[in-house]
Structure 1
Amino acid sequence: MPHDLSDDLSDESHYDRTRLRQWARGRARSAGMDRRDLLKLFAAGAAAGSMGLAAGAGPAFAATDTAAAAAAASGAPGALAAPGILKPLPPELFTLRGTNAETNFAALRGTGLLTPVDRFFVRNHTSTPRVDPGRWRLKVWGDGLAGGPVEFSYERLRALPVVERTLFLECAGNARSFYATQQGQAVTGTPWTLGAIGVARWRGARLSDVLRQAGVTPGAVDVMPRGLDDEVTANGVNLGRVRRPLPVAKALDDVLLAYEMNGQPLPADHGGPVRLVVPDWVGISSIKWVGDIEVSAEPLYSPWNTEMYRLFGPGHPAEGGPVVTRQTLKSAFELDLGATVRVHRPRVLTGRSWSAAAPVTRIDVSVDGGGHWRRARVHDTPSRGGWVRWSVPWTPRVTGATALLARATDATGRTQPETSAHNTQGYLFDAVVRHPVTVVP
C-alpha cells in the first residue's frame, strides 16, 4: 500500500488531514472497528453538524458503576461526587461537568507554577479504572515491528532512561462556554469555562525508547496507543476503547510515557499507572491508562484522530471542516467569575496565560471593560509547553459592574482576538474573556 512517506507528518494538522484523505480513498485502515460502522458514525456526525462524543457530552458515554461508587466513597466531607472520578472534589476547587471535573481557576491563586494534583482537572470519556501497577503490562505490537509483540512491565518501563518535562495538558473544548455566554452562539458539549487545563512536572520514559526496544522498523508509519478505560458508545456504535494514532515521527520525537506527576506516582484519575503525554497536541492525544500500542506499517484511522475532532458550523463544509489540532492562546484571572470587590481598596489581580504555539511574551490587562489597557508584570520565564503567571495592581475607583480583560501575545506575534471563530462543537476558543466583577461600597 502506498504511503505519503515524503510528507512531514509531525505537525498534527497536516497529519490528520493526510489520514482523513487516505481513509476516504481506502488507503488508511479503520483501526479497531468495522469501516461500515465508522461510515455510519461519520454520516451521523456530518448530518448533525456536531457529535456528542467530540464535544464530550456525558450521556453518550458508558460508565462503570464501580468507579462511580468508589468516587462517592472516597470523597471528603462536603466533597462533590462525579460519576467515575475517584479523588475528592471539594466545591471550592472544582465544578462538576458530567463525568468531568473542571478546576476553579480562582483556586490556583498562590499555588505556584505547577498545578497541584488535588486541583488538576479531570477529563474522562467513561470512568477512571483502577489498575494495579504490579499487574500492569504494556503490549507493543503490530506489523511495524521487526518481530512479534513485546511486553513491558511497570518495573521494566521505570528501568529505562528517565526524562522530566513541565508541560500543560488542555482539553480541546476548554473555554467552550464563552461561545454562548460572550458571543451568543450555540455550541454543544461540556460547558467548560477556563479550567480544563493544568500544568504538571511529568516524569517517565521516552516513547521512542520503548519503540526501539520493541523493534520498530523503518517501514513503520503510525503508532496508536489505546487506553484501559471502558469502551465508548456513540450514536449506537461501539467505538471501542479510546485510541488516537500518532505519526511515527512524532512518537519518536518528544512523547512521554509518564508514570509520575509532580514528583508522585501518577494518580488513577490522571492516567495512572502510565499515560502518554504528547507535547503541543490537544489533550485527546495524551491517552490515559495506556495498555497497548499498535505500531503499524500502514496508515491508521480511528474516531479520535479526525472526524470526532473536526470543525462544523457556519464557515465550514457540511461534511466538516478542519480537524482540531493544537490548542490556542488563552488568559485567565485567578478570581471567581462574578466576584464582588470593594471600592477604593487596593488589590493585586493575578492570572495565567498560555499558548500551544510558542511561549507567551506579553499580557495586557483592562479593568474597565476594554476602555484602557496596561501591561501586566510577568513572573515566570516564558517557555514552550507551559504557562506564565502575571499580576497587575488595581484600586477600584467607582462602584458598579465592570469587566476585567486579559490579552496575551506569544512569541509568534499572535495576540488574542476580540472574538473567536465559531464552530458548533465549541472548540478552540481563543478570544479575550470578559471576566465580570461588581465593585461595591
Structure 2
Amino acid sequence: MPPVPPTESAYDRMRLRQWYLGHARSAGVERRVLMKLLTAASAAGSLTAVGATNARATAPTAAAQAATATAQAATAQAATAPSAAPGIVKPLPSDVFTVRGTNAETNFAALRSTGRLTPASHFFVRNHTVTPRIAAEDWKLTVWGSGLRGPAVDFGYDDLRALPSVTRTAFVECAGNGRSYYTTQQNQQVTGTAWTLGAIGVGRWRGARLGDVLRRAGLTRDAVDILPRGLDSEVVTDGVDLGRVRRPLPPAKALDDVILAYEMNGEPLPADHGFPVRLIVPSWVGVSNIKWLGDIEVSDEPLYSPWNTTLYRLFGDAYPAEGSAPLTRQSLKSAFELERGATVTAGRRRILTGRSWSGGAPVRSVEISTDGGAHWHHARLRDAPRPGNWVRWATDWVPRERGTAVLLARATDRAGRRQPEVAVHNTQGYLFDAVVHHEVTVV
C-alpha cells in the first residue's frame, strides 16, 4: 500500500483538496456541505500545503443455519420480555438499562456483578434506526469499487467463517458517551443523546480480518478509502434522508486491526449487536464499528459521508470553522460501579470499584478522591492494562462525615494523558473526558 498521511487531520485536508480538484467523490453528502468545509478550511490556510494525488475518478450451510437458529432463539426469548425502546430486540430491565429514544444505556452500577467482558444482556445499544432481522443464510457481503482490480466480489456467511479467524477483546463506545456532563457539570449546551457513562461495553470478538477480505477481493495500491455500509434502514434527520450508516476508513487502519466479527463472547452476534456480521474497529469511536454490515466500497478517490462531515467532527469556539478532523480514537474516561446518589453508612468500610479506559493507550494508573478533589490516592488495578480495553479498579473507603460526599476517579494512560478537570466544549457533545463528579449521601 502507498503511505497514508500520518494523522486523520492531514488525510482530511487531502480529501478536501482532492474533492475541490474533482478527484474525490461525495458518498451521499450535499455539495453545499462540502463547500462549507472547503471554504472554512481555505480561509484558515489549512489547505495550502496539501498537494493533489494521482487518484483517478472513476445454498445455505449448516453453520449459517445454526447461527440463524441461535439468533432467532434469542429473539424469541426476548419477545417474552418486551423491550422498552422502539426497534430494540432484547429485554431492557430497568436495573440494567436506561432507555434513551432508540438507544439503551447500560447503568454502570449494573456492571459491578460482571467480569471484564460485558455480557450481551448488559451491553449498551446504539441504534440510528431499528434493529433489522437478517438470516445468516440470506446474508452476503459485497466488496466493490474502483480500488479493486476487478468486479464486485460477494462473501457469504460461511465464506467469511472459512477464512482464518482472529479474536480481539475490545471496547465499543459511542462518541457521545458522557455527553450529559457538558450540561450538568459544565453548564454548557450540546445536542444529541444525553448519555452518562454507560454507552460502552467490552466484548471478545471473533471474525475474519478485514485486510484478508480486501486482499481476496482484489485490493489495489490505488485504494485510498474503505467505506463500509450497514443494512439497517436509512437515517432521516430533520426531514433529510442521510442514507444508511456508513463512514470511510483509511487503508492504514482497515489493514491493521479491524475485523469482520460474527461472534461476541463466544456466541453468534445478538441481533441488536450486528448479527450476522459487524465491523470491529478497536479504539475508534463507536460509529466506525458498523453493525449489520452489507457492503464495502473500496475507492481510489477519497469519499465523504454525513458521518465524517457534519457528524462526528468537533465544532465550537475551540475548533476551526470547518470543525476538527473526523473523529477517530476515543478519549480517556473513568466511572464508578455505584449508583449516583447512593446512600452509604458513616464509619463503615466500603470497597469502591469502577473502570477506566482510553482509546489512545492502555491505562497506566487510576487515582481516587473521596472529598471532592482535596486529597487523592491510587486505586488498586484489578486487570493488566491492555490497548483498546478497560481496567477494573478498587479502593477502600471509610466515610467519616455525614452529608454529601463527592467521589472522583481520574485515570492516566501510558501516553501520559490524564483526565482533566474540564472537558473542552464542542457543540455536539463528543469525547467528554473530564473527571466526573459522583455524588453520594453519607448517613
**If the length of structure 2 is used for normalisation, what is the TM-score?**
0.88
Instruction: Work out the CA distance in 2 between the residues paired with 1:13 and 1:74.
Output: 43
Instruction: Work out the CA distance in 2 between the residues paired with 1:287 and 1:379.
Output: 31
Deviating more after overlay: 367-376 vs 319-328: 319-328
Match of 1:67 in 2: none
CA separation of 1:103/1:12 partners in 2, compared to 1, >3 Å: closer, same or farther?
A: farther
Instruction: Work out the CA distance in 2 between the residues paired with 1:387 and 1:206.
Output: 23
Partner of residue 379 from structure 2, selected from 372, 376, 381? 376
- Letter of the 1:382 partner, please give it: P
Structure 1 residues without counterparts, runs of 5 or longer = 47-69
Paired residue secondary structure (2:272): helix
Contact 2:224 2:299 in 1 (8 A): yes
Contact 1:71 1:83 in 2 (8 A): no
Instruction: Work out the CA distance in 2 between the residues paired with 1:26 and 1:428.
Output: 33
Paired residue secondary structure (2:311): helix
Q: What is the aligned-residue identity percentage?
A: 66
Partner of residue 269 from structure 1, selected from 272, 278, 299? 272
Match of 1:8 in 2: 5
Contact 2:259 2:281 in 1 (8 A): yes
Match of 1:232 in 2: 235
Match of 1:389 in 2: 392
- Letter of the 1:111 partner, please give it: T
Superposed CA offset, 1:336-392 (max 9, x none): 111111111211000000010100010000111111111100010000010000000
Q: How many residues align?
A: 410
Match of 2:59 in 1: none
For the pair 1:143 / 2:146, whether they are aligned, the reply is yes
Match of 1:19 in 2: 15
Partner of residue 185 from structure 2, selected from 182, 187, 190? 182
CA separation of 1:73/1:384 partners in 2, compared to 1, >3 Å: closer, same or farther?
A: closer
Contact 2:340 2:440 in 1 (8 A): yes
CA separation of 1:20/1:105 partners in 2, compared to 1, >3 Å: closer, same or farther?
A: farther
Match of 1:173 in 2: 176
Structure 2 residues without counterparts, runs of 5 or longer = 42-73
Partner of residue 30 from structure 1, selected from 22, 26, 32? 26
| Offset, 1:400 | 0.2
Paired residue secondary structure (1:281): coil
| Offset, 1:37 | 6.9
| Offset, 1:217 | 1.2
* Aligned pairs for 1:346-357 within 5 A: 346-357=349-360
Instruction: Work out the CA distance in 2 between the residues paired with 1:40 and 1:317.
Output: 15
Q: CA RMSD in A?
A: 2.4
Contact 1:168 1:385 in 2 (8 A): yes
CA separation of 1:220/1:186 partners in 2, compared to 1, >3 Å: closer, same or farther?
A: same
Superposed CA offset, 1:15-52 (max 9, x none): 34432443355432002x26447559989xx9xxxxxx
| Offset, 1:403 | 0.7
* Aligned pairs for 1:387-426 within 5 A: 387-426=390-429
* Aligned pairs for 1:185-264 within 5 A: 185-264=188-267
**If the length of structure 1 is used for normalisation, what is the TM-score?**
0.88
Instruction: Work out the CA distance in 2 between the residues paired with 1:24 and 1:83.
Output: 41
Deviating more after overlay: 274-283 vs 14-23: 14-23
* Aligned pairs for 1:60-99 within 5 A: 74=78, 77=81, 80-99=83-102
Contact 1:71 1:88 in 2 (8 A): no
Instruction: Work out the CA distance in 1 between the residues paired with 2:190 and 2:87.
Output: 25
- Letter of the 2:190 partner, please give it: V
Partner of residue 320 from structure 1, selected from 318, 323, 332? 323
- Letter of the 2:159 partner, please give it: R
CA separation of 1:346/1:25 partners in 2, compared to 1, >3 Å: closer, same or farther?
A: farther
- Letter of the 1:203 partner, please give it: R
Contact 1:12 1:281 in 2 (8 A): no
Deviating more after overlay: 181-190 vs 232-241: 232-241
